[in-house]
Structures are given as structure tokens and as C-alpha cells.
Amino acid sequence: MERKQGFFSVVRGLSPGRSRSRSKSPARSASPMSGLLRRRRNHHLAPPEPFIYRSGSLRPAEALSPLKEGPDPDGAEGGDSRMEGRWAQWMKGQLARGPSVSTSACKRSDLRLLLGVLGAPLAPVHVSTVEPLPHLSIKDTPIESSSAQYILQQYIAASGGQKLQNSIHNSYATGRVRMIASEFETANKVTRNRNSSKGAESGGFVLWQMNPDMWYVELALGGSKVHAGCNGRLVWRHTPWLGAHAAKGPVRPLRRALQGLDPKTTASMFTNARCIGEKKINEEDCFILKLCADPATLKARSEGPAEIIRHVLFGYFSQKTGLLVHLEDSHLTRIQNNGGDAVYWETTINSFLEDYRPVEGIMIAHSGRSIVTLFRFGDTAMSHTRTRMEEAWAIEEVAFNVPGLSMDCFIPPAELRLASISEASEFSQGPTVKTTVSTALHRSKITAVDGRS
């Protein structure tokens, strides 16, 4: 009789600590999600564990092809993440490329840009889900703040209630994504992707979360993979072309979790927000809550020639349902290159959350789409470039209070572990880390483009 796989075995097989240390198995299928849902072969698995809240059904029996861990062997950028200048050279080429560049090179360049910006962007500020939400207060409180608190109370109630949300200790979600770089604009030319069905890249992601402040995500797209995580003290990310690197500034949540997957963290994020008005989103009246990163956080996230000027988050909450239906954030980075002209990078992400359905009483957005605009400008109009990217996602599985999930599943990569304690201490205090000019310039470009700061 065929042995069926249980959910608990999938949990253990997917744990980030195990997946990073195992070697890749041969490919069995071309499905993009199977590389995320299956990591072991010929392994005796445990029976299913009870009391798991979930949406849909897990299909761990599928076997998937492995994901490429290193850079493209035929890529012009080379293969060692220590060669810092390669990223800068690629970015210059991407911004200045013309129609004469080969189709495969353009596609590979677009894929890296998509994964860099949309792979694992972070929220603007630190959030602690352990601290209780403030009580609704009107006395001695500005009307903008008290209105925001009232809207959040309605959001918490519409999402399932605070008591039920407090009972969730960890969560798991997996879904499908489609991304495309739809438009590239320079000072004198606009290039559009006319065949979006063939130009789009398809893949999938898996997201783990655990209290307090721990998360891990893997996103596979077009044969490449980005994975990122947080152990509660250090946020890190790994890309095939840069390797592993830590994020500057305080620990912050993953933006993808705020897109309808984590109501409790979303409510905590907007605790200090202000209500600035109303607006129709898809013919639905919404309240607008605005949250700005404070100067201390912006300073901690800045490094060398890269200065984070602002990071603003807007949440649009439906007046009819109380749920979050639209999320917009924009951050602006200024880069001063060795006494030359300053260059500015502005990244704006607009996300629409759709198809809310209850999962054991918690309202989860099961689909959505994002539109990203990456705008680079300087002192001269000829240096202006604008790139438009799009993403659509659908949630396939959601589960709460997964047995067996522990802190060991959120351990950073080995190359970052030694520095994690000292860096986490510096992040919490605010001062930046001293680096050489070349390293700071290299990381500043990553900061501006990747959308992780």
C-alpha cells in the first residue's frame, strides 16, 4: 500500500534550517511549487498531526525540480557574490539597455530586477506583536489618531477578533505568483512588454511565521530563488547573484505578510498611524491610514553614500467590511557618488487585496496583485528612468499553529551568524556600521534598488 505523507512530515521537511543544509535532489517534475513543497526523497514520514487550522488541502506527494542556487552559468555578471562590482555593473546595464540586447539577456535581467524588488520587501517600521494594542481613547487625543484607532478596532473585529488572533502562535502559507517587467522608460524612449502572457514569469512561495517577530520566506521564479528570514534579532536575505546579506536598521516584518495574511501584525503596524481622509478603491469607499518611518529608523537604515530620506505606508480600509483592501508604500533613497551628482531612487508598491475568505475564523486575502514603479532621477532630465513591474498572486494553503515549528527553523545562514549578535545590538541602538567606501557604495545601490530597506 502506498504510504501517504502527513502534514507534520511536510512541516519538518520544509523547515528552513533543514532545507538550507541539504543537497538538492534530482528533478522529477517541472511544476514550480514542488521545489517548495518537497525537499526529501525516500524518507519515512510521520503520521498527520491533529488540530491544524488550514485552508485547502496539502499535496506533498508531488515531487518538484530543484531550484538553481547559483548565478546563471552563461550570465555576463559572473558567479561570486564577493565580487561586489558585478551588481553595480549589472544595474548600470539594466538601466541603459536598448533593444539591441538579446532577448535572453533582457529576460534574465528583468528576472533579477523582479526578484530584487518584489522578492522580499520589508515594512517601514519595527512591529512587536507581543505588545497589546492601545485602547480606544478620545480624550486628549488628536482626531486623526483617535479615528485611526477606531478604524483599527473595526479591522481587528472584521478579521476575526483579538482573542482568536492572540491564539495564533505560528502560521504557514503557500501560494503561486506571476511577475512581469511591463514597461521601461528613459528620457527619450518607452519600451513596453506587448506579450504579457509569454513575458511573465511564474513561480511560487512559501511563508513561515512564529511569535515573536520570526519569519522565513522562499520565493521561486523562473528557475531562480530568493529566500529571506528573521530570527527576531536579525533580518537577512539570500539571492543567487549576491549571496546572503543582512538588512540594515531594526527588525521589520515582511511586506508580503501584510498583504492579507497576518491581520495581527497589520493592526500592530498601523498602531501609530493617522487617518488622513477617504478614497474610493475599486468603487469601494475606504478610510486612509498613513504611517511614516521615524527619523531614527531612517538613519539606522542609511549607510555610507545611501541616505533613506523617507518611507511612507498607506493602508486603505473598507468602510463596508472593515478589511484592508489596498496597501501602498513608497520609499526614497538619495545616493551621493564620490562628490558627483546625487542620484535618487523612489520605489512605490501598490497592492490590491482580494478574495477574503475565513480560515478557522481568521479572514485571509486569498489573491491580489501589485503594481511597482521604480523611478531613478538626478540633476539632469536625461538621467531619468522609470521601470514598471506587476505581480499577481493566489494563496493555495494556509495553516495555523503548526506542530513542530521551533526557533531552529529561523536560524540565519552560517556566514551571518557570527555577526548577528553585534549587528542586532547596533540596529537597536541606531548607529550605522562603518564600512569602506567601495563596500558602502555597493550596498547603497542594493538598498535603493532591492526595496529591502
* 392 and 178 Cβ atoms separated by less than 8 Å: yes
Task: Give the residue-averaged pLDDT of 158-169.
Answer: 95
Q: Is 376 helix (H, G, I), strand (E, B) or coil?
A: strand
pLDDT classification of 29: cutoffs 50, 70, 90: very low
Other beta carbons within 10 Å of 134: 12
Give the list of residues 6+ apart from residue 364 with CB closer than 8 angstroms, or none: 55, 173, 260, 261, 356, 357, 358, 395, 398
Grid cell 482626531 — which residue?
A: 143
Grid cell 479591522 — which residue?
A: 155
C-alpha cell at position 354: 482580494
pLDDT exceeds 70 at position 439 = no
pLDDT exceeds 60 at position 27 = no
* The total number of residues written for the chain in this structure: 453
Burial readout 390-404 (b: 16 or more C-beta within 10 A, e: otherwise): bbbbebbbbbbebee
Cis before 250 (ω within 30): no
- Note the pLDDT of residue 192: 80
- 171/399 Cα distance (integer angstroms): 6
Grid cell 515573536 — which residue?
A: 212
- Note the pLDDT of residue 99: 38
Task: Give the residue-averaged pLDDT of 391-404.
Answer: 96
Other beta carbons within 10 Å of 20: 18
pLDDT classification of 292: cutoffs 50, 70, 90: very high
* 120 and 254 Cβ atoms separated by less than 8 Å: yes
Domain spans in the chain, listed from the N-terminal domain onward: 110-450
Other beta carbons within 10 Å of 362: 23
Task: Give the residue-averaged pLDDT of 75-95.
Answer: 40
pLDDT classification of 75: cutoffs 50, 70, 90: very low
pLDDT exceeds 70 at position 126 = yes
pLDDT exceeds 90 at position 257 = yes
C-alpha cell at position 384: 531619468
* 330 and 357 Cβ atoms separated by less than 8 Å: no
Nearest to 56 by CA among 353, 364, 324, 266: 364
Lowest mean pLDDT among 43-47, 225-229, 239-243, 407-411: 43-47
pLDDT classification of 104: cutoffs 50, 70, 90: low
Instruction: Out of 90-99, 315-324, 417-426, give the one with best mean pLDDT.
Output: 315-324
* Residue bearing the bigger pLDDT, 32 or 173: 173
- Note the pLDDT of residue 153: 94
Q: At what angle do helices 437-450 and 103-118 cross, to 10 degrees?
A: 90
C-alpha cell at position 349: 508598491
Which amino acid is residue 165, in one-letter code? Q
Which amino acid is residue 11, in one-letter code? V
pLDDT exceeds 90 at position 186 = no
* Residue bearing the bigger pLDDT, 105 or 371: 371
Lowest mean pLDDT among 122-136, 296-310, 338-352, 421-435: 421-435
Other beta carbons within 10 Å of 214: 20
Name the average pLDDT for the chain. Answer: 76
- Note the pLDDT of residue 105: 59
* Residue bearing the bigger pLDDT, 124 or 85: 124
pTM (whole model) above 0.75 = no
Question: What sections of 315-383 are H helices per DSSP?
Answer: none
Q: What is the three-state SS of 73-138?
A: CCCCCCCCCCCCHHHHHHHHHHHHCCCCCCHHHHHHHHHHHHHHHHCCCECCCCCCCCCCCCCCCC
The percentage of the chain sitting over the pLDDT mark of 90, rounded to a whole number, equals 51
Task: Give the residue-averaged pLDDT of 162-178.
Answer: 95
pLDDT classification of 81: cutoffs 50, 70, 90: very low
Which amino acid is residue 431, in one-letter code? P
- 117/107 Cα distance (integer angstroms): 15
Task: Give the residue-averaged pLDDT of 222-244.
Answer: 92
pLDDT exceeds 50 at position 5 = no
- Note the pLDDT of residue 8: 40
pLDDT classification of 369: cutoffs 50, 70, 90: very high
Task: Give the residue-averaged pLDDT of 322-326.
Answer: 98
Whether the CA torsion 156, 252, 212, 174 is positive or negative: it is positive
DSSP code of residue 408? G
Distance of CA 194 to the CA centre of its chain: 27
* Residue bearing the bigger pLDDT, 217 or 421: 217
Burial readout 49-84 (b: 16 or more C-beta within 10 A, e: otherwise): eeebbbbeebebeebbbbbbeebbeebebeeebeeb
Task: Give the residue-averaged pLDDT of 30-46.
Answer: 41
